[in-house]
Structures are given as structure tokens and as C-alpha cells.
Amino acid sequence: MPAAGLLRGQQETQAPPPQQPPAKFSTDVKVVNVFATVRTKSGKIVNNLKQGDFVLDDEGRPQTIKYFSQETDLPLNLGLLVDTSGSQRRVLGDERAASLKFFEQVLREDRDLAFVIHFDYQVELLQDLTNSRAKLEDALNLLQVGQNPNQQQQQGGNYPNGGGYPGGGYPGGGYPGGGYPGGGYPPRRYPGGGGGGGRRGGTTLYDSILLASDDIIKKQQGRKALILLTDGVDNGSKSTIYQAIASAQKADTFVYSILFSDPDAYGGPGMYGPMGRRRMGYPGGGYPGGGGYDRPDGKKILQQISKETGGRFFEVGHFHPIEKIYAEIQEDLRNQYNIGFTPDQANAPGIYRHIQLTTRAKNTVVYAREGYWTT
């Protein structure tokens, strides 16, 4: 009996130690990934840098870069957000044609996915994530300038079932199942279309970024980017610019902004406010009785969104057509660095931390997000 007991004791002392503590420790390690594009100050892409060429700070504290790679084949998840408000009426055709060409050139059907959203006085998903160029083309062909909400109510929409697009968008308005309680978040802006609340009219730029980030692209892995085609004016969203930016940051998503505007969209020459900004509001350039308000500076808004999410801002012009802009975005997406680090300080969840990524190479500009949210 003692021998048997000793044998059992030996077996117990030789058993492997529990594995739970190491497993718990490994899940506590938080790795922050930062995708970056580097160009020279003259705009030429830089794709030959090494890990030691980069310098990273977290709230001013130097960090050790632990993971580094150059990404050219990692799957790409791309969202196209198109402004279909009345101000885009005369440029929408050019946007549609250039976007189709961009999808054809940048998307690899064996690994990349894209979706299409339009926004005016509501946000509507025209095509969910797909690798089918044919489906994306069909979605682009649906793009049209939205009607005035009062006309929409009288006419019952441009398509059957009262919606602005076939079927009125997703059931309940907006996104699958109505998106959020009450029929979409923010609520649908076609009067009578469900959802309720919200202002009637306006352009829901910020809401489109928030919904694209939270409901679609946040769930994806790999490289992620949103492309905005708009004049940058938002006068109908329930969310703020800060909420829109935060949603993109939390989804690890670049936002490329393309300012594509019609200079006569808000009443033509002479419709300026006291600060030299174009006045807008109701048709005719203001509220009834000749009022109106100063239109926000769409360029500054789009620059802020792109800068804080790591994307880039572009403005369509005679010497910078949209086709050339799309070519630059494509080059960015095919020449990225993936940099990972573990913050040297523990932080509670839900805190925004500022980071700065630079290179030791001379005359270079780094395009990367300016911070991250702790989890």
C-alpha cells in the first residue's frame, strides 16, 4: 500500500502544471495595428522603408515597434459613400463613371470586398459587401439625386413601395431590420417612410460615416477604407462630426475624402454671407423671406475627417480630375505598411490615445491615423 501510494504521489508531482495563467496573460496583451502610407513631399510613393525607419509615439512616449510588414496582398474592404443631395446633381454622372472604373481596377474578386451607400436626407445601403463587380455596377446605376422631402411625400417616392430606391431601402428604413430601434439610425428622412424624428431635409454626411463604420466595416478584418464623394456639407445628421470620426477610428478605417462640388449648386454666384461663405437653405438661397445661413466650409470638414482617420483629402479640379484622384488612392491602398505595437502603459477601456508615426527618411510624409481607442 505505501508503495502504491508513493507511486500515485510520484504521478501527481510529475503532472504538467495548469495552463490557465499563461492563457489569461496572453489575452491581456493589447496590440495596436497602424496602417500607413508614405509619400515624398512631392507626392511620390515610398515603398522601400524598413522597420527601423519608423518612429512611433503614444501620447509623447516612444514605443517599440514589434510587428512590421509591407502589405500589398492583404484583403481590402472598401466602402463608397456617395452624396446624392441636390447640390450634387450636375456632378453625379462623373462620380458614377469614375467609381465604376475604380472598382474595376482596384478590386480583386478573389479576395477584396466593397459596398455602396448613398446619402442625402437619409442614409441607404444600395449594395452590401460583395466581390461582384456586376452588383457594384448595378448599385452605381441606381444613384440619383434625391427629391425634396415634401415632393417625396406627395409622389410616394421615385420607385415602388414609396422609397427613394427599389423597395424603399432595407425593411424598416435604412439598414437590415431597421438598423436601430424605431426604424433605422438615424431615422429615415423620407416622410412617411418610418423611423420618425430627425429633421426633414438636409444632407446626412456624418450619419453615413457612422453607419458604414459601425454596421458594416467594423466587423471586417484586414485593410479597411471609406471613400467619400461629397461637397462636405452636412445639414441633416443626428450624429456630429466628432462621433463620425470616432466611429471610423474605432473601426480602424481610413477615410478618403473627395471634394466634388458644383460651384453654382447653392443659388449661383452672389449668394454669399457676411463671411464670404456661400449661403444656403431652401431653394433660392435661404429661408422664406430671403433669409438663409452660412454654409459650413465643406473643404475644412473633409480635411479634418481624413486627417484624423489616416486617409487623405482630395479636391476635384481641372488639373486634378477624379480619375487621377482614384489612381492615387489605388496606389495608396497597394503600398501600405502595417505597424504593430503594444502600449507600454495600461489604460482603462474607452480612452482615446494620440499617436504620432514618423520616419527617419528625409522629405517624407506619413499618412496614418492619429490615435486609437483603448479596448
Q: What is the CATH number of the domain that holds 269?
A: 3.40.50.410
Same domain, 247 and 350: no
Q: How many domains does the chain have?
A: 2
H helices of 71-217, in order, are 92-106, 133-141, 149-155, 205-211
Task: Give the Cα-Cα-Cα angle 103, 232, 35 (nearest 5 degrees).
Answer: 55
- Mean pLDDT (the chain) is 76
Q: What tens digit of pLDDT does each residue of 302-353 get?
A: 999 999 999 999 999 888 998 999 999 999 998 999 999 999 988 889 999 9
> Alpha-carbon torsion 121, 126, 131, 132, what sign?
negative
Same domain, 359 and 303: no
Same domain, 81 and 45: no
Same domain, 284 and 356: no
Same domain, 246 and 104: yes
Q: How many angstroms separate the CA atoms of 162 and 155, rounded? A: 8
Residue 194 belongs to a domain: no
Residue 182 belongs to a domain: no
Residue 349 belongs to a domain: yes
Same domain, 206 and 312: yes
Q: What is the pTM of this model?
A: 0.74
Same domain, 99 and 33: no
Same domain, 357 and 285: no
DSSP-based helix, strand, coil % in the chain, nearest 5: 30, 25, 45
Three cell numbers, residue 369:
491615423
Cβ–Cβ under 8 Å, residues 184 and 174: yes
Can you say how many angstroms the Cα of residue 132 is from the centroid of all Cα atoms in its chain? 21
Residue 248 belongs to a domain: yes
Residue 164 belongs to a domain: no
Residue 251 belongs to a domain: yes
- Can you give the residue range of the structural domain that contains 234? 76-148+201-333
Same domain, 212 and 301: yes
State the pLDDT at residue 195: 33
Same domain, 89 and 110: yes
* pLDDT < 70 regions, the chain: 1-29, 146-201, 262-296
Q: What tens digit of pLDDT does each residue of 25-77 get?
A: 233 458 999 999 999 999 999 999 999 999 999 999 999 999 999 987 788 99
Tell me how far CA of residue 107 lies from CA of 130, 177, 238, in angstroms: 10, 29, 33
Same domain, 113 and 252: yes
Residue 191 belongs to a domain: no
State the pLDDT at residue 72: 76
Element (H, E) at 325: helix 322-333
Same domain, 255 and 281: yes
State the pLDDT at residue 297: 86
Residue 89 belongs to a domain: yes
